[in-house]
Structure 1
Amino acid sequence: MAKRQFGFDVKVFRSDNAPELKFTGLFSELGIVHQFSCVEAPEQNAIVERKHQHLLAVARALFFQSRVPARFWGDYLLTATYIINMIPSLLLDNKSPFDLLHSKCPDYSIFKTFGCLVFVSTLRSNRNKFSERALPGIFIGYSPGVKGYKVYVLQTQSIVLSRDVVFHENIFPFHSISSENAIVNPFPSVSLPQISFNDVHFPAETIVAGSNMVVPNSNDAGSTSSAPTVAASNGTCPTLANTNANIPHVADIPHVADIPHVADMNESNTVESPNPTSRIVTPQDVPLPTTQNVNQGVAVEAIPPVVRRSSRQVHKPSYLQKYHCNNVFSAPAPNVLYPIEDYLSSSKLSSSYEHFVANVSSIYEPTFYHQAAKIPAWQDAMKEELKAMEDNHTWVTVPLPEGKKAIDSKWVYRVKYKADGSLDRFKARLVAKGFTQVEGIDYTDTFSPVAKMTSFKVLLALAATKNWHLLQLDVNNAFLNGYLDEEVYMKLPQGYLPESSGSNLVCKLQKSIYGLKQASRQWFTAFSEVVLAFGFQQSYADHSLFVHGSGENMVVLLVYVDDIILAGSNMEQLSAVQSFLQQNFKLKDLGTLKYFLGFEVARNSSGISLSQRKYALNLLEDTGTLATKPADTPISASHKLNAQDGELLPDPQQYRRLVGRLLYLTHSRPDITYAVHLLSQFISSPRHPHLMAVYHLLSYIKKSPALGLFFPSDSNFQLHGFVDSDYSSCPDTRRSISGYCMYIGNSIVSWKSKKQATVSRSSCESEYRAMAAATCELVWLASLLSSFQVPVTHASLYCDNQSAIHLASNQVFHERTKHIEVDCHFIRDKIRDGFLKLFHVSSANQLADILTKALHGPLFKTFIAKMGLIDIYQPPS
């Protein structure tokens, strides 16, 4: 910017030794000399340190005046920077930095009071004839490059940029929140108390109807303060003049009453009592002056001051002070048009399962060590983890050998629950930052199998039909059971004080821990040796699936890293397997399967329900779309998404993170699979229309966040599937989209939406290629079912293209098919062997259609119902 905008060449860059300021490659390329200050010698970079102090001083002043919560600290600093750059300085000969850079005076008319109440105009496209024309908000600064103001809207709890703003610079709504809660926030990932329009109480000021003017009461007058003012005359740049102006002091402006809220966990143990007498002063409360009153000099009667809320504090009971409650089924928030509570209901849940769901959604899990270190429960969890490491001889502390590099580590925190949903324990896990390991030095082989999600769903489908028991086990410190073949050093974990003393101490790892690239491989090798010695047979279709015995005594074991599922009809056999595993590993019995890898499992006599409700709600909460208007379809049927239209996103990481999280949600949501597949095509260079499509998809998820799969108990074991393709539908490559969904009886267990690898010359060819991919999946599912001792003699595949069915059923070879790859023709071998049977289905009953294209609302809902998706949390209509 210095070169492009102002013609200056940067020659020397001076900074401290912070790693984020080391741009060695860039500076070498541009020929810039990078100078570093000595450790703990900030005076060597005094100019920057002094400017930091200046910025923080102005930012603190903005805070003390506005009391806007500390989570807006970035807006504090940006506004402070903007103000410093615009106002004149005695050090610059009464000129501003803006004046010196641009050789013109800045426009001071745009200055507004930070943190004051504003009303921002709503967009015409988002309102009808009876919608509000303006929404209340808080002014939080200016946005570079945009000719407008940045406003935090209270009703929607979102930040907007607008030029149409009306300011009330004597009213500060956030004064109603105590300074302690505004300043101290030990959990950055947890939102501070939010304010809705109903929570904002205006001071006792006379609001004149029909105008934007606010007349302060007498309490605002008479306060003086000595402050520098900016004076301008004759079109010249303003200069600083030390004058005593009658400026109302911040402390003299009437403060509003405190807003009731639950204090932050472990920071305050009090809940302020509500005040039913507080209210908003509306124009209807103020008598309008008449002409007669004005002529006679009759003054309008003043409004009595707002009654303050009682300062009495109610203390939480001591046994509740460690817990933070976030009720999953609560009353809707005021002034929210589409509250999430309208789309979730517990009416269909049993009392025990409702208790489980509420617990899963309530307890806070910290993200960083400094958050957990303040909470005794998490402190004990970290001590327990470190003790387990030492007892297991995971490492020895030694000085770091010369020429070796130690990797770093971090803490991960999870809350574990019992089968009934009650709190089991707080689990702190030490994880190595394996992404810093060097191949060939710190590790060699890394591959380790994990259970496929399809295997998990097939297991649930068979358990529902065969009435199997489902048990869940967790291996404590599973990776500590694997021995390392390489020499790996790790920095001392946070909070760990070794018994030995010395300088440059590190941990020399003797056993694998979580996070190491080879840890999963070493653990799975050790686990496989144990279960195979007991007599389990490893499945060839999924190496994480083990089967023991047959008939009524059969036990199925599915392992995903350190989470284990046991299934079978004989509880004695299940107990025997569990006892054997307990002898070899430290196990935690989690009881009946209810929560596995983010999937919620609910069961009754009709079958098993599987959903990712909590995961979907977390996604909506993190993206601020809990209160958005729900959409009827995942993606508009008339969408024109392509790789060229629209502006590139300045920060593509946000888009990539959202699509990545949505990909995991597709494991239980075939209804969004096509939309996520489409959006994932633009990962490399996402544009604005793509991001808007992501938020449209989130609006659809908000409509049914708990929608998921259902495995009926009265199903059969017939393997069949539906396959379809959308010919030449990609506007960028003209390739076709394949889609299939596979069923075991009435239970959907597998589905996919994927762009074909090459361009097809006809719709028959694209359907034929899709049928080949679907046949591969059917063959694998048949092999998987045989591992469960469910023989499959044949499978049915339904297609809506007669030409493709004839091409697969007949050994034809002509000009239109001779170029198709040979591997696609193996479908003919499966038909000839009698394994595969093809059937024609009408397009109205082609369930795979939902996986190849965007459908209109009514047709989309019909296909969802036919696929067997249900929402056990759907509120009664």
Structure 2
Amino acid sequence: EVENQLGKTIKSLRSDREGEYMSQEFLDHLKDHGIIAHRTPPYTPQHNGVSERRNRTLLDMVRSMMSQTTLPKSFLDYALETATRILNMVLTKKRDTLTKPNKLEPRSIKCIFIGYPKETMKYSFYYPPENKVLVIRNAKFLENSFINQEASGSLKDLEIIQEEDTHPSIDTSLNYKEGDLEINEPQSDVIPIRRSTRTRHAPDGMCLYIDAEEHELRDLGEPANYKAALLDPESEKWLNAMNVEIQSMKDNEVWVLVELPPNGKTQTDVKSAFLNRYLNEEVYMEQIDGFVNPKYPNRVCKLKRSIYGLKQASRQWNKQFNDEINKFGFTQNCDEPCVYLKASGSNITLIILYVDDILIMENNILMLQIVKSYLEGCFAMKDLGKAAYILGFKIYRDRSRRLIGLCQSAYIEKILKQNCMENSKRRSIHMQEKLKLSKSQGALTPVELKRMQNVPYASAVGSIMNTKDMFLVYGGDLKRELRVYCYTDAGYLTNADDLKSQTGYVFILNGGAVDWKSAKQSIFATSSVDADYIAAFDASKEAVWVRKFISGLGVVLTIEEPISMYCDNTGAIAIANESGITKGARHFRAKVHYLRKVIKYGDIKLEKVYIDDNLADHFTKALEFPKHSEHTRNIGMLPGSSLM
């Protein structure tokens, strides 16, 4: 009709993702007529503002017309046609967008316009200070201003200019002394090796964090490579840290410079020293950027010890640590090899090892100092004092209230920064209750899949989940302090694509969640009883491990009792507790009846819980906001304001 009546050709069609625009028949029709389909992202009506505003205007006009007449609602279509005709006849004038007044800080940045991105009504700009290409909708073009660059303006040229102009006189050559391996001539213009001058203090608590590396900086936004370190505003600190690493490798005689054998292969991109053990095979490494020996620039490093970047490094280090700690009387937990225990009378010492980060817990300060001194005698350790961070978790203590909290704010800030969202405003957007999602609502074509891979929001949303200021809190209830509870639940046929159900369970210790899972079931359930029985089976396997692990620690005596596992499905509980019941369970695979064995052996006790009190409910489905908030509080997720 548009082509015949107006002589115009439709070149593109912008629409939301409603079903009438997503059918294959409609898409084929557009393709046959050469019309490009533009679709807005999900839940962003503002990206289709012209149509959304026009629809609202039409509805307002129709309501106004119908309110002034006694005609029945069957005449709505006539009113709509009349409103449409009036709007088409009225002249319109585009108005300038009103802007808010500037505040104390500038609200815009100066960029270089470089073109138009495909399949979206925006602009592409290059931002030289951060060497990034930005896709922006609103911009003001300064047509009388020019780029202040002497080069051609290409991305490659701009990068080179930035690198050459930032630190033109930095020399990062290492100061090799006479007698150091095969280097005999000293070099000038060196950066001195920095040693920590921090005064050592004995920890005032029972928990100590030790880092087995020799670096001082633990910035989550650390440079990715040597060139990035030179361009960093704190390049001097990074260069000092690199010198410390290299000096540590020299002190440990990690490598020797040799000619690369004819069939030898080298490794590159070695990050830093990994307190190490001698290797059993020959490994060669290229000399490190910025620290190439000028006398032997073509030689390679033949490694004598393992370092970061090697496949053998973690295993070699773990063997060495295990050998040394066993000599001091520690025993390794059979169910969690990263945990070591030493008990002497009433004194209990726990060591938790993750790669080369070590956490020490002790109920006697004197014994804590003895263990620390022993480790410092075995390895080049650095005492970080009372544990404040571990593996990106911030640790909060309130001994007067017997509370301890864990927070991932530093990790979340890192994710936000990586996706250029550090200045984004915080919003709470909750899933719609009983919402059904399917693959058909996501990217389908290869072009859409490729485009979604480059959308920062898609990768960031799962990592953030609006928990930046939330703490996982333990303690405060003496009656339940040292007792493990488990809640299990299932969402029946929650997956719209293959009609499989969802398993959810959570283990609670000392008032907070210590172990949880939310995953699609691998077995097809034919009823809600089946789904809950399978979920309880999944939870029972984890319960056996939890019970064995905690029992090995020797500090939670109640773990010798069966773990109370709560389920809200009476039928599933009956089948699990009574092996004689076969109705409704004949088709079960044999492995799911492992649940019955676990109950029989006394590892768990399956009990009934009211559906509104099942804390695993929000691990299987979207709940209304009040219920979701109640469950998160009951598993120990609390805002930081409730602790501080």
1:336-355 matched pairs, under 5 angstroms? none
Flag the 1:874–1:780 CA change in 2: closer, same or farther, 3 A.
Answer: same
Q: Residue 643 of structure 1: CA displacement?
A: 2.3
Flag the 1:390–1:626 CA change in 2: closer, same or farther, 3 A.
Answer: closer
1:648-687 matched pairs, under 5 angstroms? 648=444, 650=447
Q: Residue 497 of structure 1: CA displacement?
A: 3.2
Query: Counterpart in 2 of 1:381?
Result: 241
Q: What SS does the aligned partner of 1:837 have?
A: strand
Query: What's the CA shift string for 1:716-759, capped at 9, x where partnerless?
Result: 21111100000111111211110100012313211111111121
Aligned 8 A contact 2:443 2:452 in 1 = no
Flag the 1:403–1:548 CA change in 2: closer, same or farther, 3 A.
Answer: same
Equivalent in 807, 816, 820 of residue 575 of structure 2: 807
Q: What SS does the aligned partner of 2:279 have?
A: strand
**2:153 is the alignment partner of 1:150:** no
1:749-760 matched pairs, under 5 angstroms? 749-760=514-525
**2:495 is the alignment partner of 1:730:** yes
**2:350 is the alignment partner of 1:556:** yes
> % of aligned pairs identical?
29
Query: What's the CA shift string for 1:510-566, capped at 9, x where partnerless?
Result: 111111111101110111011111111111110111100145311001101111111
1:201-350 matched pairs, under 5 angstroms? none
Query: Counterpart in 2 of 1:398?
Result: 258
Q: What SS does the aligned partner of 1:542 have?
A: coil
Flag the 1:749–1:808 CA change in 2: closer, same or farther, 3 A.
Answer: same
**2:140 is the alignment partner of 1:372:** no
Aligned 8 A contact 2:257 2:300 in 1 = yes
Q: Residue 764 of structure 1: CA displacement?
A: 0.7
Query: Counterpart in 1 of 2:625?
Result: 857
Query: Counterpart in 1 of 2:283?
Result: 488
Query: Counterpart in 2 of 1:515?
Result: 309
Give, in whole Å, the separation in 1 of the partners of 2:50 and 2:469.
33
> Aligned letter for 2:341?
V
> Aligned letter for 2:572?
A
Flag the 1:167–1:566 CA change in 2: closer, same or farther, 3 A.
Answer: closer
Aligned 8 A contact 1:616 1:706 in 2 = no
Equivalent in 166, 169, 193 of residue 143 of structure 2: 169
Aligned 8 A contact 2:220 2:414 in 1 = no
Flag the 1:763–1:188 CA change in 2: closer, same or farther, 3 A.
Answer: farther
Query: Counterpart in 1 of 2:102?
Result: none
Q: Residue 818 of structure 1: CA displacement?
A: 2.1
Q: Which runs of 5+ in 2 are unaligned?
A: 1-45, 58-94, 100-106, 169-215
Query: What's the CA shift string for 1:283-312, capped at 9, x where partnerless?
Result: xxxxxxxxxxxxxxxxxxxxxxxxxxxxxx
Q: Residue 698 of structure 1: CA displacement?
A: 6.8
Aligned 8 A contact 1:767 1:804 in 2 = yes
Flag the 1:847–1:150 CA change in 2: closer, same or farther, 3 A.
Answer: same
What is the TM-score of this pair, normalised by structure 1?
0.50
Query: Counterpart in 2 of 1:310?
Result: none
Give, in whole Å, the separation in 2 of the partners of 1:820 and 1:159.
55
Give, in whole Å, the separation in 2 of the partners of 1:400 and 1:875.
59
Query: Counterpart in 2 of 1:609?
Result: 405
1:433-444 matched pairs, under 5 angstroms? none
Flag the 1:360–1:774 CA change in 2: closer, same or farther, 3 A.
Answer: farther
**2:597 is the alignment partner of 1:824:** no
**2:582 is the alignment partner of 1:787:** no
Give, in whole Å, the separation in 2 of the partners of 1:638 and 1:547.
46
Give, in whole Å, the separation in 2 of the partners of 1:604 and 1:749.
19
Give, in whole Å, the separation in 2 of the partners of 1:612 and 1:125.
41
Aligned 8 A contact 1:739 1:851 in 2 = yes
Q: Residue 509 of structure 1: CA displacement?
A: 1.1
Q: Residue 406 of structure 1: CA displacement?
A: 1.1
Give, in whole Å, the separation in 2 of the partners of 1:150 and 1:710.
46
Flag the 1:747–1:546 CA change in 2: closer, same or farther, 3 A.
Answer: same
Q: Residue 646 of structure 1: CA displacement?
A: 3.9
Equivalent in 829, 840, 861 of residue 608 of structure 2: 840
Q: Residue 835 of structure 1: CA displacement?
A: 3.2
RMSD, matched Cα: 4.0
> Aligned letter for 2:390?
F
Give, in whole Å, the separation in 1 of the partners of 2:409 and 2:217.
11
Query: Counterpart in 2 of 1:568?
Result: 362
Aligned 8 A contact 1:637 1:854 in 2 = yes
Aligned 8 A contact 2:543 2:603 in 1 = no
> Aligned letter for 1:531?
I
Query: What's the CA shift string for 1:427-471, capped at 9, x where partnerless?
Result: xx25xxxxxxxxxxxxxxxxxxxxxxxxxxxxxxxxxxxxxxxxx
> Aligned letter for 2:395?
V
Query: Counterpart in 2 of 1:316?
Result: none
Query: Counterpart in 2 of 1:746?
Result: 511
Q: Which runs of 5+ in 1 are unaligned?
A: 1-119, 190-263, 268-358, 412-428, 431-476, 658-687
Q: Residue 389 of structure 1: CA displacement?
A: 1.3
Give, in whole Å, the separation in 2 of the partners of 1:710 and 1:875.
9
Flag the 1:174–1:592 CA change in 2: closer, same or farther, 3 A.
Answer: farther
**2:308 is the alignment partner of 1:540:** no
> Aligned pair count?
482
Give, in whole Å, the separation in 1 of the partners of 2:628 and 2:350.
37
**2:474 is the alignment partner of 1:711:** yes
Flag the 1:167–1:511 CA change in 2: closer, same or farther, 3 A.
Answer: closer
> Aligned letter for 1:619?
I
Aligned 8 A contact 1:148 1:161 in 2 = no
Q: Residue 802 of structure 1: CA displacement?
A: 0.5
Flag the 1:694–1:373 CA change in 2: closer, same or farther, 3 A.
Answer: closer
Equivalent in 349, 363, 382 of residue 588 of structure 1: 382
Flag the 1:655–1:856 CA change in 2: closer, same or farther, 3 A.
Answer: farther
Aligned 8 A contact 1:152 1:160 in 2 = yes
Query: What's the CA shift string for 1:10-60, capped at 9, x where partnerless?
Result: xxxxxxxxxxxxxxxxxxxxxxxxxxxxxxxxxxxxxxxxxxxxxxxxxxx
Give, in whole Å, the separation in 1 of the partners of 2:321 and 2:468.
36
Q: What SS does the aligned partner of 1:743 have?
A: strand
Query: Counterpart in 1 of 2:184?
Result: none
Q: Residue 362 of structure 1: CA displacement?
A: 8.1
Give, in whole Å, the separation in 1 of the partners of 2:120 and 2:550.
63
Q: Residue 615 of structure 1: CA displacement?
A: 0.8
1:24-39 matched pairs, under 5 angstroms? none
Flag the 1:769–1:546 CA change in 2: closer, same or farther, 3 A.
Answer: same
Query: What's the CA shift string for 1:835-860, capped at 9, x where partnerless?
Result: 32222112211110111112232222
Aligned 8 A contact 2:492 2:500 in 1 = yes
Query: What's the CA shift string for 1:549-603, capped at 9, x where partnerless?
Result: 1453110011011111110111111111111111111111111011111111111
Q: Residue 832 of structure 1: CA displacement?
A: 2.4
Give, in whole Å, the separation in 1 of the partners of 2:610 and 2:96.
48
> Aligned letter for 1:372?
A
Equivalent in 578, 591, 596 of residue 372 of structure 2: 578
Flag the 1:265–1:506 CA change in 2: closer, same or farther, 3 A.
Answer: closer
